[in-house]
């Protein structure tokens, strides 16, 4: 779909906003000294006290059983979900508040008093634990389009993409030499290091060229009838997704070609929310042709408040229209993800906020993403709170996760549309509610 560039095309047609980065790479090699986690923890000690209120006037303070031993722990990985009751070894002792979770949202050393009940009384035991990050940054784009125009400033951040599970601003450095004023090929070794000292390295070659070649889509167009023939079977139906790039669509011809549903771009966000020029026309004409309709919204926002606002804006554009298909969240600016100042946890939280707000507006969310990012960026919780719309342009996908819709081609040729169109398969035995 246009303006939501799929993984395989990001190298040539990715459009980026100027969000900037806290830390920019330069041509000089930066030397990093390895900092032990012990040093990190000792320098960031945080004390947290858990307070509770008794719900009964008969509760008495008692000494804990002499044989009670709390399971100790040296450290826990950041963002782990751990309940306090996992530390109990005495079966007659209960956690007073079973819903309280261990705080693992920040690295550091924590001390917490845990309230327990025993033989009608209550007592507390102190637990000290360290939250650490031992996960190395993830490389998203190792250099898909490494062509640099001669005579212009070079910044490796423009050619690679990476993300960390915790650090919003991991550091990018490289070894090797590049002369941006001289045409040639320059091998480099890039390294990304997070603020806990975890790092990932890889090799790439930057080509300094007279002119950067323009991206060309050489994929052969596939007739919609052949597409249906190739994938027909039980519990399947076929659809398309459209935007302003398909301009005037003859939805009666689309319907007669075997299409049952259409996902329509409602708008997009770069620096401001913009309505797709053909949204209202597409919505009206697809509905009149009897097609089931859903919408998608392309965004580059990196804030929870922003995507909640987007969800409410979408509902305003729909103005009470009852969709038969979901509202898709479409975030694809992964080629230079670090420029958006987010961790992997952050972008998952942002999607979950969008999905929550869409539901509040009376619609069903769906997560649109390619196989690569579903495997490496979106966590299991994000993929479980709503259906998934998989983008994978292959004859037979090997994605092993759950998905309700598969966007299998971006090169569709269907009667009623004069340009390429994305072609989709919906699996009717997979819920989209």
Cα 285 to chain centroid distance, Å, stands at 32
Q: What is the pLDDT of residues 416-432, one digit of tens each?
A: 998 899 999 999 999 98
Q: Is the pLDDT of residue 362 over 90?
A: yes
Q: Tell me the pLDDT tens digit for each residue of 365-419.
A: 999 999 999 999 999 999 999 999 999 999 999 999 999 999 999 988 999 998 8
Q: Please check the confidence at residue 83 and state whether its pLDDT lies above 90.
A: no
Which tens digits make up the pLDDT trace of 148-179? Answer: 999 999 999 999 999 999 999 999 999 999 99
The secondary structure element, H or E, covering residue 323 is: none
pLDDT, tens digit (0-9, with 9 covering 90-100), for 192-228: 999 999 999 999 999 999 999 987 777 788 999 999 9
Global pTM reads 0.80
In order of start, what are the domains of the chain with their CATH numbers?
A: 7-19+219-427 (3.20.20.80), 44-132 (2.60.40), 135-209 (2.60.40.10)
Average pLDDT over all residues of the chain: 83
pLDDT given at position 112: 81
How many angstroms separate the CA atoms of 421 and 35, rounded? 51
Question: Is residue 99 scored above 70 in pLDDT?
Answer: no
d(CA 397, CA 164): 27
Asked whether 334 and 302 are in contact (CB, 8 A), the reply is: no
Closest alpha carbon to 422 in 128, 213, 190, 217: 217
Higher pLDDT among residues 174 and 111, named by residue = 174
Higher pLDDT, 176 or 109: 176
Q: Is 60 exceeded by the pLDDT of residue 19?
A: no
User: What is the pLDDT, as a whole number, of residue 97?
Assistant: 73
Please give the pLDDT value at position 73: 60
* Torsion over CA: 280, 286, 288, 292 (sign): negative
pLDDT at res. 109:
87
Could you tell me the CA-to-CA distances from 147 to 6, 187, 352, 354 in Å, in that order? 20, 12, 36, 36
The token pair at 399 is 């994605």
Residue 47 has pLDDT above 60, yes or no: no
- The pLDDT value recorded for residue 26 is 33
Which residues of 5-120 form beta strands (DSSP E)?
60-61, 75-77, 94-95, 108-118
Strands, DSSP E only, in 285-371? 292-299, 327-330, 365-370
Q: How much of the chain, in percent, has pLDDT values that exceed 70?
A: 81
Tens of pLDDT, residues 286-319: 999 999 999 999 999 999 999 999 999 999 999 9
The whole-number average pLDDT for the span 326-334 is 97
């Amino acid at each position: 779909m246009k303006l939501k560039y799929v993984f395989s095309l990001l190298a040539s047609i990715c459009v980026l906003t100027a969000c900037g980065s806290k830390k920019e790479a330069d041509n000089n090699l930066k030397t990093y000294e390895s900092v032990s986690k012990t040093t990190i923890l000792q320098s960031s000690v945080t004390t947290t006290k858990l307070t509770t209120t008794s719900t009964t006037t008969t509760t008495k303070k008692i000494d804990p059983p002499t044989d009670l031993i709390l399971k100790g722990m040296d450290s826990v990985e950041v963002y782990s979900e751990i309940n306090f009751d996992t530390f109990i070894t005495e079966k007659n002792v209960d956690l007073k508040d079973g819903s309280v979770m261990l705080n693992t949202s920040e690295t550091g050393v924590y001390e917490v008093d845990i309230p327990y009940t025993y033989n009608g009384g209550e007592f507390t035991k102190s637990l000290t634990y360290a939250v650490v990050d031992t996960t190395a940054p993830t490389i998203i784009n190792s250099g898909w389009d490494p062509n640099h125009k001669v005579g212009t400033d070079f910044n490796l951040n423009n050619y690679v993409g990476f993300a960390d599970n915790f650090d919003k601003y991991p550091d990018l450095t490289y070894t090797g030499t590049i002369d941006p004023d001289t045409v040639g090929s320059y091998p480099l070794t890039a390294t990304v290091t997070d603020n806990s000292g975890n790092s990932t390295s890889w090799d790439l070659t930057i080509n300094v060229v007279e002119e950067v070649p323009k991206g060309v889509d050489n994929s052969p167009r596939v007739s919609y009838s052949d597409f249906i023939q190739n994938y027909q079977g039980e519990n399947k139906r076929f659809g398309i997704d459209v935007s302003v790039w398909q301009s005037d669509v003859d939805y009666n011809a689309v319907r007669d070609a075997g299409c049952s549903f259409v996902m329509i771009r409602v708008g997009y966000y770069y620096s401001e929310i913009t309505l797709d020029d053909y949204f209202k026309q597409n919505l009206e004409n697809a509905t009149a042709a009897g097609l089931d309709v859903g919408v998608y919204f392309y965004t580059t926002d990196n804030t929870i408040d922003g995507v909640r606002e987007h969800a409410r804006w979408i509902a305003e554009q729909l103005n009470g229209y009852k969709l038969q298909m979901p509202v898709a969240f479409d975030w694809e600016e992964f080629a230079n993800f670090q420029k958006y100042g987010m961790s992997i946890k952050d972008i998952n939280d942002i999607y979950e906020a969008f999905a929550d707000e869409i539901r509040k507006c009376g619609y069903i969310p769906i997560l649109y993403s390619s196989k690569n990012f579903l495997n490496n960026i979106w966590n299991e919780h994000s993929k479980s709170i709503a259906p998934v719309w998989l983008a994978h342009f292959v004859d037979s996908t090997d994605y092993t996760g759950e998905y309700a819709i598969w966007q299998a081609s971006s090169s569709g040729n269907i009667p009623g549309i004069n340009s390429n169109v994305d072609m989709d398969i919906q699996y009717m035995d997979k819920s989209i509610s």
